[in-house]
Chains A and B, each alone.
Chain A
C-alpha cells in the first residue's frame, strides 16, 4: 500500500524541528532513516499529518565518546555505528547485536535512535540499551531530559516520550565487562523470536530478554550455578508472560529463555 498524504518538513536546524513538534504534537512524526516508520506509513498503521525529516542536521549525526559514555546522535545510521572503529572496544555488546538488526539493506538507512524510538519488543537495539543500562536523551522546545532505559520503554511499541519531544541521542556506558548476545529468528535479520544479552555485573550477571514480553526486560542475578541457576531462569521465563503467535508458541519462547539464558550466563561468568 501507499502512505496517506502528509506534509514533509525538511528541518535545517534542531530548533525548527522542535518548533514544529511543539505546534503539531502527535500529528507530527519525526522521520530519520525511516526503516520502521515507512513500513507503518505504507501499511497505514501510522497516519501523521506532518513528517519532520531530521537527517539534514549534521549535529545529530555524531558519535561522541564522553568519558565512560558513548553518545549516539539521532542521525547516526546503524551502518555508521557498525563501521565506527571504536565500536568493538567501547561497545562490545552493541558490536555483537548490531549485525542482527535488520539487514545490510536496512541498516544502511535505519538509525540507532529510530529503532529505540520505535520500541519494537523484539528489536535488538532497545534490548542492548536495556542490558547496558543506557539512557535516552529527550528534547522538546522547552526542556531537555534524560531517561534511563528501564523507564523509557512503557509497553508494546510505546515509550514515555512526550508528544512534543524527540530523541536527540542515546547513550551507552562504555563497558569493559564481559558480555554476550544470542538470538533465534526465522531468518537472520528478521525480528527475533527470542533475543538475549548478558552483561557481567559486580554481583553476578544482568540478563536482558527481547521478543517475549511487551518490551525488552532486564533482570540482575547473583552468581548462581547448577539447579539454582536453572530455577532462577525458569522463574524469569515465566515472569516474561510469553504469548503464542504465528512465529512461535509461548512454551517454545520460555524454552529459549531458559536455554539461551543458561548459555549466556555461563559465557560471561565462566
Chain B
C-alpha cells in the first residue's frame, strides 16, 4: 500500500503520447492541470471542470476519458494520449484534423481538442462508424459554435479517408 500525503508532491510516471513522462503531483492535482501546468502541454482544454463539457477529453489506455475527472496520481503507469499526438509532424495536420479544417468543424476551437480525441478513439476501435454512432459519441461533448453538423461531416469524411475509401490528391495541411 502506498499513501501519498496531502500537500506534498509525489512522483507520477506514465506514458504520454508514446514517450515516458515523469513529473510530480500533489494527490489532489487533476490530470488537466498536470498536463497544462506541470508539463506545459496546453492542447487539452478545461471548460466546466466537472465532467459535463468534454473539452478536457484525452485518451487513457485507449479509451476517451475526462481529464478533469481524473487525478494525475490515478494515471500512474497508464498510457495517455492528448491532442498533441494527432499531428504527424510539426506544422502538419493529421487526417482527422485536416477534415475538421476542410469542413469548418471548428470556430473558436475550445471544444475541438476534446472532440478530436474522442473521435480518434472511436475511429481506432470502429473504423467505419455510421452517423448515429458518431452522434452518440459526440453527446459527451458540448460545442457552442458549430451546431455539430460540420463536426459530423468531418468525422465521416475522416473515417472514409482512413478506411481508404477516398484518395485525396492534396491534403490541406
**Chain A interface (Cβ < 8 Å from any Cβ of B):** 1-13, 16, 20, 31, 34-35, 38-39, 41-43, 49, 51, 53, 55, 79, 99, 102-106, 108-109, 187-189
Interchain CA distance A42-B65 in the complex, whole Å? 16
Given contacts A7-B27, A8-B27, A51-B27, contact A34 B74 (CB under 8 A): yes
Residues of A within 8 A of B30 (CB): 2-3, 42
Given contacts A53-B74, A104-B140, A106-B140, contact A10 B51 (CB under 8 A): no
Given contacts A2-B30, A34-B74, contact A105 B3 (CB under 8 A): no
Interchain CA distance A41-B68 in the complex, whole Å? 11
Contact A104 B64 (CB under 8 A): yes
Question: Interface majority SS on B: helix, strand, loop or mixed?
Answer: mixed
- Which residues of chain B in 62-80 are interfacial with respect to chain A, using CB atoms and an 8 Å cutoff? 63-66, 68-71, 73-74
- Find the B residue at minimum CB distance from A108: B63
Say yes or no for B157: interface residue by CB 8 A criterion: no
**28 examples of A-B residue contacts, CB within 8 angstroms:** A2-B30, A2-B33, A6-B6, A6-B28, A7-B6, A8-B3, A8-B27, A8-B73, A16-B1, A34-B69, A35-B51, A35-B69, A39-B50, A42-B49, A51-B27, A53-B73, A53-B74, A103-B140, A104-B64, A104-B122, A105-B66, A105-B140, A106-B65, A106-B140, A108-B60, A109-B66, A109-B69, A188-B139
How many residues of chain B are within 8 Å of chain A by beta carbon?
Answer: 35
Contact B65 A4 (CB under 8 A): no
Residues of A within 8 A of B71 (CB): 8, 34, 38
Contact B140 A34 (CB under 8 A): no
Interchain CA distance A31-B69 in the complex, whole Å? 11
Residues of B within 8 A of A13 (CB): 1
**B70: shortest Cβ distance to chain A, in Å?**
7
**B9: shortest Cβ distance to chain A, in Å?**
12
Contact A38 B28 (CB under 8 A): no
Contact A1 B6 (CB under 8 A): no
Residues of B within 8 A of A189 (CB): 139-140
Say yes or no for B166: interface residue by CB 8 A criterion: no
Residues of B within 8 A of A16 (CB): 1
Interchain CA distance A109-B6 in the complex, whole Å? 24
Say yes or no for B5: interface residue by CB 8 A criterion: yes
Contact A38 B6 (CB under 8 A): no
Interchain CA distance A108-B51 in the complex, whole Å? 13
Given contacts A3-B28, A42-B30, contact A105 B65 (CB under 8 A): yes
- Find the B residue at minimum CB distance from A56: B77
Contact B137 A104 (CB under 8 A): yes
